[in-house]
A and B are shown apart, each in its own frame.
Chain A
Amino acid sequence: MKKERSKKYRVIQALRILSQSIFFILFFYLLLVTHFPGEDYIGRVEIFFHFDPLLAIATFIASRAFFTSFALAASTVVLTFVLGRVACGWVCPLGSIHQFFSFIFKKSKLLKPKKNGDNRTAWKYYLLIFILVGTLFSLDLVGIFDPLSLLYRSFVASILPALNLGFSAFIGLLYQMNISSLGDSLVQFFENLAVNSVFRQGFFLGMLFIGILLLNLSRERYWCRYLCPLGAFLGLISRWNVMKLKIDPKKCIDCWLCTIHCQTQARPYPEEDWKSSECIYCYTCSAICPTSAVSFPVKSTPEEIVRVNLSRRKLIFTTLLGIAAIPFFRLSPSTRRASPKLIRPPGALPEKKFLQKCVKCGECMKACPTNGLQPALSEAGPEGIWTPILVPKIGYCEYYCSLCSQVCPTGAIQELTVQEKTKIKIGLAWVNKNTCIPYNLGTPCIVCEEHCPTSPKAIKLVKTEVKLPDGTIKTPVAPVINTDLCIGCGICEAKCPVVDEPAIYVTSVGETRSETNQLLLDIIKEEEGLF
C-alpha cells in the first residue's frame, strides 16, 4: 500500500498555524496599544474578551445584568454549535501558546506523548460547574480561570514587566559599550510603548503562568485538555460538528500515531472512541497519518456528540463543593469595616456589584498611564484577588484620564468621559504630621500642593507653628487638606519626598461609589449651624 501523508490536511494544518499566529499577534497587538493613545478616548482594544462566552455568561449570572458588548460572544456560541471547538484550535491565543510549547517540548524530547487516555479530561468540566455554581450566588471566580483573563493578566503584570527589565538591562549594556545612538532610539521606542513595569504580584503571577506552561511537559496542551473551563463550556455547547472524523479502514495501519499526537486527547483512533466535544479541529491527526487514512468529511446530518464521561456522583459532589466554598471566599474583615487600601479606579461600581462583574483581566492595569492600578492581594477579600486597586505609592490616578473605565470589558468600571471622571472621588488624602517635613522640621516643602490637580487645589498651605527640638518655634506653611475638593487621586502620595512612607496618603473613605464609606453624613453638612 502506498504510504503518503495527506497533502490537503497538511495545508489545512499550515492554515491553522497561520490563523493561530494571526490571532495571537492581534491579541498581543491590542495588548500593546492599550495605553494613552494621544487622545482622550481609546477604541475597543478589549474586544477579544467580548467574544468569550464564558465571561459573558458568568458575569451575566453573577451580576444579573447583561453587558451589551458581550453580544459578540454569541458568534463564538454559534460557531461552536455548528463547527465544534474550532475556536480552541484556531483562535485562542492561550491555546496557541500551549501548543507552541508542547511542540517545543515534544521536539526536544522533554515531552513524550502517550497513547493511553485518562479521565482527567473531566476536570475542566467539574471546574466549570464549580465556577458556574458560584456565579448563581454572585461569586464571580471566572476571571481566575478564564484563559483570556489568565493570559492577559499574566502578560500585563509579569511577562511584559520582565521583558521590559530585560530590554532595559540590554540597553544599559549598549550605553556601556558606547553604542548610545542605538540605545537612544530603543529607549524612545520603548517609551512610546508605555509599558507599566512595576507590579506587586509580578513574581507570583509570573510563576503561576510559567507553571501552567510547564504543565505541557506532562501532556500536550495540558491546560486545554484538563483545565480550561472555557474549553469545557465550548465542549458542552458543541452540537453539530459538521466536520466529522472518518478513518478509512482500508488505509489504516493501526499505528496509533493520530491518537498519540492528538492535542487534546480526543482519541481519533479507534474511530468509535473519538470524542467530538474534545476535538479542537487542529487536524494534527489527519496531517500526521502516514497513510492519509484520517479525514474530516463534511457531514451535515447531526449525529450524537461523544462527550467526556462525567459521573453523576462527581457532578453532584462538585456542585455541593461549589456551594460550600462560597462563604469561604467571603471571609474578609472588610465586612466589618471598609478597607482603607481598597481604592478602586474611578467609575468602579459599588464594591458588591464590582466583584460580581470584575473578571481580573488586567486591562485597566495595562491602560493606567501611571502604573498605579495594581492587582489586589487581600484588600478585597479572597473573592477579590487580582481585582484592580490604586496603590498611590506606585502610581496615582491621572486627572484627565478615564482609560481604565473605557477598556474594562465587563462594565465593572463604568465607562466615563474625562469630564465625568474629574468629578469622581476615589478616596481622600490625609497628612501624616508625624513625618511631614514642614510639620516636623519647619522646612518648606510644597510638593503635594504643587502636584494637586484640582482647581482650586484641595491642598492648602497654611502657616503653622512648629516646635523644633531646641525649643525654638518656626512658622512654615504646611499642607492642610480640603476634603470637599480632594478627589483621592493620590498624586500627593506618589510624589511626596518622604521617600519610604509618604507623609501624605490616600484612603478609600469618601469614595463616590459607596454610600457607607463616608466621612460625614450629608445631613450634618447641610444643617451646619444648628448646634
Chain B
Amino acid sequence: MKRRDFIKDMAVGSLLLKFHPSLLAQKKNFPDLAWIQGDSPSLITREALSSLGGMKRFVSRGDVVVVKPNIGWDRTPELAACTNPDVVKTLVELCLDAGAKEVKVMDNPCNPAQRTYVRSGISEAAKEAGAKVLFPNRHRLKKMALNGEWLKEWDVYTDFVEADKIINVPIAKTHSLSRLTMGMKNWLGAVGGNRNQLHQKLDQAMIDLASFFQPCLTVLDGYRILIRNGPQGGRVSDTKLHKTVVAGVDYVAVDAAGATFFDLGPQEFPYLRVAHQKGFGEIDLEKLIIEKRTL
C-alpha cells in the first residue's frame, strides 16, 4: 500500500467512524426486560437470561459473583416466603458457565440462618450448582458511606462490595409497609445493624440501598408469589402459582413489572415513583422494550 493511499483510507475511516460509531460495535438490541412464563422455574430462568443476551453479557471470565436471593424466613418453598431454589440454582449454573471464578450465595435472614438456608431449599440447590453458600459473617460487616438521601452510612456485608458482580434474585411477596417486597426491598438482607429501624422510612431506605448496591442484573422470581400474610405467609393458600420470571438490568423496571403480578400499577408505589424521578429506572412499562414469552 502506498503511503498516500494509507493516509486517504485513514481519513475516510476516521470520518466514517465519527458519524457511525456503531460500525465497530456488534449490533445488539437487547430487550429491557425478559418476561418469561412456564412450568419449570429453571427453564424460564434460563430463557430469561438468553433473551437478555446470555449470562456472558453480565458475568466475565474470572469474576467473583454474589447472588443475593431472599432467604429471610424459616419457610419451605411451597410457602413462597423465600426465593425459589431452582431459580437460584439455575443462576449459579449460568454464572459458572459464563466463566465466573466463584459464585457466593448469601443473605442476612430474619430467622436463624442455619434454619432458613436449609428449609428454603436454597442452600442445597445452590451448593449442587457449585456455589459457595455463606452464612452472614459479622466480622465482614463494615460501616460504609451509602451517600443516600436518608441513609448516609450503614453496616454492609463487605462480600457484596468486594464482589465483581452482584445479581439480585428476589421473590415477589406482599408486605404491609412497602405493599410489595421485591428487588429493591431485598437489599435489607445485605446489611446488618439494627435494620428493623429502617422501617421508619422504608421507601427511602429501599431506594438508598438499591442505588448503593447497583446489581448488574435483577431476576425477580414470580414462580410462586405470596399474595397474603406477607412477607412470611404460612399457608399454601396464601400463595399463588404465577409461573413467571422477570429479568432485567433496570432494577426499578423489574419491580414495576412485578407489581403487575398482583394487579397493581407501578404508579401506586411511592418508592417506585421516587426511584423513577431520581432517574434510577423506568416504571412506565409502555416505554420499555419487553420480551414476553410463554414456554
Residues on A lying within 8 angstroms of B by beta carbon are: 35-36, 38, 171-172, 175, 180, 183-184, 187-188, 191-192, 194, 369-370, 398-401, 437, 443-447, 449-457, 461, 477, 495-497, 499
Residues of B within 8 A of A401 (CB): 74, 115
Closest A residue by C-beta to B202: A444
Within 8 Å of chain A (Cβ to Cβ): is B200?
yes
Within 8 Å of chain A (Cβ to Cβ): is B229?
yes
Residues of A within 8 A of B12 (CB): none
A461 to B179, CA, bound (A): 13
A398, A446, A455: the one within 8 Å of B74 (CB): A398
Q: Is the CB of B110 within 8 A of A455?
A: no
Q: Is the CB of A191 within 8 A of B229?
A: no
Closest B residue by C-beta to A399: B74
Q: Is the CB of B137 within 8 A of A449?
A: no
Q: Is the CB of B112 within 8 A of A187?
A: no
A401 to B112, CA, bound (A): 11
Within 8 Å of chain A (Cβ to Cβ): is B146?
no
A188, A398, A450: the one within 8 Å of B176 (CB): A450
A183 to B177, CA, bound (A): 37
- Contacts A38-B118, A455-B233 given; indicate if A175 touches B139 (C-beta within 8 A): yes
For residue B288, give the distance in angstroms from its CB to the closest CB of chain A.
30
B140, B200, B233: the one within 8 Å of A444 (CB): B200
For residue B161, give the distance in angstroms from its CB to the closest CB of chain A.
13
- Contacts A188-B135, A450-B231 given; indicate if A369 touches B115 (C-beta within 8 A): yes
- Contacts A444-B199, A444-B200, A497-B197 given; indicate if A398 touches B114 (C-beta within 8 A): no
Q: Is the CB of B200 within 8 A of A437?
A: yes
A227 to B111, CA, bound (A): 43
Can you list 9 A-B pairs, Cβ within 8 angstroms, ordered by A?
A: A36-B114, A183-B139, A184-B137, A187-B137, A188-B134, A445-B199, A455-B232, A461-B176, A497-B200
For residue A526, give the distance in angstroms from its CB to the closest CB of chain B.
26
Residues of A within 8 A of B175 (CB): 450
- Contacts A450-B231, A453-B234 given; indicate if A400 touches B74 (C-beta within 8 A): yes
Closest B residue by C-beta to A443: B200
**A-B contact number at CB 8 A:** 90
Closest A residue by C-beta to B203: A444
Q: Is the CB of B176 within 8 A of A449?
A: yes
Closest A residue by C-beta to B74: A400
Within 8 Å of chain A (Cβ to Cβ): is B127?
no
Residues of B within 8 A of A452 (CB): 232
Q: Is the CB of A398 within 8 A of B139?
A: no
Q: Is the CB of B177 within 8 A of A446?
A: yes
For residue A175, give the distance in angstroms from its CB to the closest CB of chain B.
5
- Contacts A445-B199, A446-B176, A446-B177 given; indicate if A456 touches B229 (C-beta within 8 A): yes
Q: Is the CB of B177 within 8 A of A171?
A: no
Closest B residue by C-beta to A448: B196
In the complex, which residues 139-158 of chain B have their Cβ closer than 8 Å to any Cβ of chain A?
A: 139-140
Closest A residue by C-beta to B75: A400
Closest B residue by C-beta to A369: B112
Q: Is the CB of B110 within 8 A of A497?
A: no
Interface membership of chain B positions 98-134, coded 1 if the CB is closer than 8 angstroms to chain A and 0 otherwise: 0000000000001111110011000000000000001
A175 to B142, CA, bound (A): 12
A32 to B176, CA, bound (A): 39
Residues of A within 8 A of B57 (CB): none
A237 to B194, CA, bound (A): 57
Within 8 Å of chain A (Cβ to Cβ): is B238?
yes
A447 to B232, CA, bound (A): 12
A41 to B234, CA, bound (A): 20
- Contacts A450-B175, A450-B176, A456-B229 given; indicate if A398 touches B115 (C-beta within 8 A): yes
- Contacts A38-B118, A191-B114, A453-B234 given; indicate if A447 touches B139 (C-beta within 8 A): no
Within 8 Å of chain A (Cβ to Cβ): is B61?
no
For residue A181, give the distance in angstroms from its CB to the closest CB of chain B.
12
Within 8 Å of chain A (Cβ to Cβ): is B292?
no
A369, A437, A454, A496: the one within 8 Å of B234 (CB): A454
Residues of A within 8 A of B293 (CB): none
Interface membership of chain B positions 220-238, coded 1 if the CB is closer than 8 angstroms to chain A and 0 otherwise: 0000000011011111001
